[in-house]
Amino acid sequence: MEVKEIKKDIFWVGAVDWTVRDFHGYSTYRGTTYNSYLMLDDKKVLFDTVKKNMKGELIHRIRSVIDPGEIDYIVVNHVEMDHSGSLPEIIELVQPEKVICSQMGKKALLDHFHREDWPYHVAGPGESVSVGNRTITFLETRMLHWPDSMFSYIPEEKLLISSDAFGEHLASTERFDDEIDQSVLMHEAAKYYANILTLYSPLVKKLLKKVGEMGIEIDMIAPDHGIIWRKDPGKILDAYSRWCVHEGTNKALVIYDTMWHSTEMMAKAVADGIESQGVSVKLLDLRVNHRSDVMTEVLDAKAVALGCPTLNNGLLPRMAGFLMYMRGLRPTNKFGVAFGSYGWSGEAVKLMNKAMEEMKFDMIDPGLRVKYVPDHSHLKECIELGRKLGKAVKNSL
């Protein structure tokens, strides 16, 4: 992959990971990138590094622009290992004057690498550092999505280097938003938000408000993963403004697992009831849909129906795992119902209800249990449950 000049004397020098398929439990079918940026001015500045096993690509690309030894500052916007894994080797090669990070970033670097001897410069929130004809202003973005996170903003270029915000896991030869299929781009951006940032939505909302109040002009957003937004950075900012309030659409999900197909029969009937109300519905069988793809659908759904049979007084493992994953991300502003088949105890519906209540879903029904195999009358009850959920969605929009 060639070095790409994204602004005058500012270069993408990162790495493309075509083969990664799992990112701590998040499926990355399209791979990812680890974006690093090199700015040439009176001071030469490298923004973030790359995953440890890809340091050779980073060094090669830096060398195609300048001798790495000419780099004066390294900015660490985020300490997570996909961005700082190669940092010790790069510092050894570069011998920078400063390693610029947030206060929490310094603590995280010490905890990860145990190097008291690095030339740390702790950037306070809103601090600006002159590098010649340009300045870098640092915006603390704590818990988006680690305590150490910060943005780097270059006002002279109206360029926001946004760390793990506004990115996607998407490997490509293209670097910019206007070079790639928009449906693919926005799907991967939504998947990234759903599986990484949903939990931090209140902080995203505050950040967007703060940026608006500060009057920061942005004509390019360069994230640490995926595509650089040069044609329409407002598109991803608008999407985040919707996603951070968990704005639901005319859409409901029936998410289920099944043992001997009884709960599956119920799921299809619930979906029929939802559809009868003019609400778009998707059936998502956890046996064939990865949890991170299901969470992507949850992002803009207004309602969720969970179905699972009872196993050993509890849930089937796939549903139990999905609920743990979803509860960790805490989607809100949803309607919820639960249903399931059982043999002799039937705790699954109660457990699913409890999980949704903990996420503050608006529970519209106590749930529906069917012993062993549903008959026609049971399926009519499932349809009615779906209708009830569909009506709630329609009445809320």
Residues with a catalytic annotation lie at 24, 78, 80, 82, 145, 164, 192, 225
If 0-12 CB within 10 Å is exposed, 13-18 middle and 19+ buried, where does residue 33 land?
Answer: buried
Distance of alpha carbon 57 from alpha carbon 395, whole angstroms: 54
Distance of alpha carbon 174 from alpha carbon 226, whole angstroms: 9
Q: Which residue has the tokens 């064939």?
A: 288
Distance of alpha carbon 219 from alpha carbon 232, whole angstroms: 8
How would you classify the pairing of strands 280-285 and 251-256? parallel
Phi and psi torsions of 249, nearest 5°: -110, -175
Nearest-Å Rg of the Cα atoms of the chain is: 24
Residue 67 CB neighbours (<10 A) = 11
Contact 155, 135 (CB under 8 A): yes
Q: What share of the chain is helix, strand, coil (3-state, %, to 5)?
A: 40, 25, 40
Structure tokens at 354: 């409890």
